[in-house]
Structure 1
Amino acid sequence: MSPPHVVRLELDTFADVDRPALATWFDAVFTGLLAPLCPASVAELVSVARDYVPSDTTPWGPPGYARLLLSSGEFTPSAWALALAELPSFLRVQMVGLDSQGLPLVDGGWSAEVLLKDDPAFPHQISVTASRSLFGGWISHLVQQEWLSALRTGASLVRACGGWITLDRVGPRTAHEVSAGVGLDESLFTAAELCRGPHWATLLGPRQVAALGGVLKVCGSAPCFSVEDLGGGRILLRLTEHLDEVPDDALRELAGFLGPVLR
């Protein structure tokens, strides 16, 4: 089996999102987590993006909202705030390795993106991903801590009902959802009550913590390397010390602990 190829952070919430504060968070995530990873400079990406004209025959399709922001070259808090205000339902900003035609490189390519989905029928989804190749084969302890910090601050900002950081190979559904045969829409609809799987870093929301016996019980008995009470009934579980060292037996033990809130 091939190794997981994407580092993925996701936050789900049913709360109203404070868009100005979210713009500041996006700025920190983009400039602090993603931009330093990319082998090409933002200026190079903007240059290619400005020259790219989508058509019905291009395999990537239209550039969408992401490329509009990317091609503008603006990645300031005010630019994020404007984008969030003008695009209330979907914002995707993607940095990718591009060829001379402005198309994603298939061989030797890389990508990193920030995504916000705001659907009234489901929770807000905030996702941050980066291809593992950008980390040069080794995800340092410092970088892992930076991703954890982003998860903590984002969880408090959006009053998240759940979230995680993981090494991933399965796309929008989590590994647990794929193995259990759970559809994405079904899992999002119940995201406040049911955890979307055991992960390296698993954020439990207030309802999930209550179903597991409360803050004190979870903090005292979760089988994890570290357990953090984030306040507001939210708890962050870190399964092992290192993101890329998660034994299967550790995942099974965490899944057993989370049983009452797993589908």
Structure 2
Amino acid sequence: MTPLPVDLQLNVDGSAGDLSEVAYEWLEGLSARLLPDERHELAPLPARVTKGPGEPGSLFGVLAISRGGITAPAKTAERNCSASGLAWLRKELGDLPEMAILEIGVFDEMGHRGKRLLSLVVRRHPVSPQWLRLSVLESDERLDGSAESLRLQQEWLKTLRAYAEKWDPGFGHISYGHGPGATTLEDRLPARNYPPEQREPRHTVNECRRYLRGYSWLTIAPKELAAQLGGQMAMTETGAFRRVDVVAGGALWLQATERFEEFHDDAVTRVFDALAPVLRPGLPVEIPRYPGKPPHLLVFEDAAERVGKR
């Protein structure tokens, strides 16, 4: 079966500190934490990326910065994920771009960039300049119900938790990936009924401390919405979550089930019911699931109407 994308995402604003430093820490610090040996192997490379194919089976590490793309085609620059390349990255992040990417992987048998071992993304948009959308792009390829699969998911949680404790996020999730950082809910709000301000992440991130952008296996609700939900005790009493914690800044850490692959059907409904009072209003529309596309794990009701029926 085709592996499906999984998005580990945090949204942070200026309360986290200098956003240029936050972006650098997400890319440099997280890659060093997750792949220290690979980072060490790549460190001596020059900054400039060599044109042409690489050595099959060897490592590649790429840093990419994209600017523009609003009124003209985006301009992208690349460097190796080496010591000198990271020095270039830090300088570039001083003037935050629309997107910054760090990827580490292995060249395939043709010398092309093949299997990715790690993909980290930082997004910032002119309509939400005070926000960064930080992602680790994963897949469900290894989610097979095994003990190793569970360890992998625990590592996902540990990774996101470390930064959630540090940066007081406005939103976070571990969810199937839909588009460039959209939540499942945002992805299914039809464009004919909802303007971009209500369904596109570059806009909705501006209001994530007012409306919860979505819900999934893991949902991080900011402290502002945690209060509206009644806090840790009230969320525990719903029975919708396997784990309910309060992270350092006051946000709620809401893990629905032990394993990612167990989040479906009744588990989805329970989480929707628990979080409906703070979810962004809107009626998501169900569509047929196409081959190779992730499922839309949603309750196809407007959260505002669900609350009104109580």
- TM-score, reference length from structure 2: 0.64
Alignment of 1:118 with 2:118, yes or no, is: no
Alpha-carbon distance, 1:80 to partner: 8.9
* Counterpart residue type for residue 31 of structure 1: A
Q: Which runs of 5+ in 2 are unaligned?
A: 53-62, 67-76, 191-198, 281-310
Task: Work out which structure has the larger RCO, using CA pairs closer than 8 Å and 6 or more positions apart in sequence.
Answer: 1
- Cα-to-partner distance string for 1:198-224 (whole Å, 9 max, x where unaligned): 111111101221222334323443511
Tell me the secondary structure at the aligned position of residue 51 of structure 1: coil
Q: Residues of 2 paired with 1:186 and 1:100: CA distance? A: 41
- Aligned counterpart, 1:141: 150
Q: Residues of 1 paired with 2:268 and 2:88: CA distance? A: 36
Alpha-carbon distance, 1:180 to partner: 2.7
| Counterpart contact for 2:125–2:202, Cα < 8 Å | no
Match of 1:183 among 187, 200, 204: 200
- Cα-to-partner distance string for 1:9-50 (whole Å, 9 max, x where unaligned): 1111222434556644544421343678x9xx9649x69x82
- TM-score, reference length from structure 1: 0.74
- Aligned counterpart, 1:129: 137
Match of 2:78 among 60, 68, 86: 68
1:26-37 correspondence to structure 2 within 5 Å: 26-33=27-34
Alpha-carbon distance, 1:230 to partner: 1.1
- Aligned counterpart, 1:9: 8
Give me the identity figure in percent. 21
Going from structure 1 to structure 2, the CA distance change for 1:79 and 1:112 (only over 3 Å counts) comes to: same
Alpha-carbon distance, 1:157 to partner: 2.3
- Cα-to-partner distance string for 1:68-92 (whole Å, 9 max, x where unaligned): 34x142399x749825644523321
Going from structure 1 to structure 2, the CA distance change for 1:219 and 1:84 (only over 3 Å counts) comes to: farther
Tell me the secondary structure at the aligned position of residue 257 of structure 1: helix
Alpha-carbon distance, 1:99 to partner: 5.0
User: Which of the two has higher C-alpha Rg?
Assistant: 2
CA RMSD of aligned residues (A): 3.8
Tell me the secondary structure at the aligned position of residue 232 of structure 1: coil
Tell me the secondary structure at the aligned position of residue 237 of structure 1: strand
- Aligned counterpart, 1:172: 181
Going from structure 1 to structure 2, the CA distance change for 1:110 and 1:136 (only over 3 Å counts) comes to: farther
| Counterpart contact for 2:240–2:270, Cα < 8 Å | yes
| Counterpart contact for 1:215–1:233, Cα < 8 Å | no
Q: Residues of 1 paired with 2:253 and 2:107: CA distance? A: 36
* Counterpart residue type for residue 139 of structure 2: S
Tell me the secondary structure at the aligned position of residue 260 of structure 2: coil
- Cα-to-partner distance string for 1:42-63 (whole Å, 9 max, x where unaligned): 649x69x82237xxxxxxxxx8
Q: In proportion to residue count, which structure has more strand?
A: 2
Going from structure 1 to structure 2, the CA distance change for 1:87 and 1:6 (only over 3 Å counts) comes to: farther
Alpha-carbon distance, 1:174 to partner: 1.6
- Aligned counterpart, 2:302: none
- Aligned counterpart, 1:58: none
Number of residues of Structure 1 aligned to a counterpart in Structure 2: 245
Q: In proportion to residue count, which structure has more helix?
A: 1
Alpha-carbon distance, 1:166 to partner: 2.2
* Counterpart residue type for residue 29 of structure 1: L
- Aligned counterpart, 2:90: 82
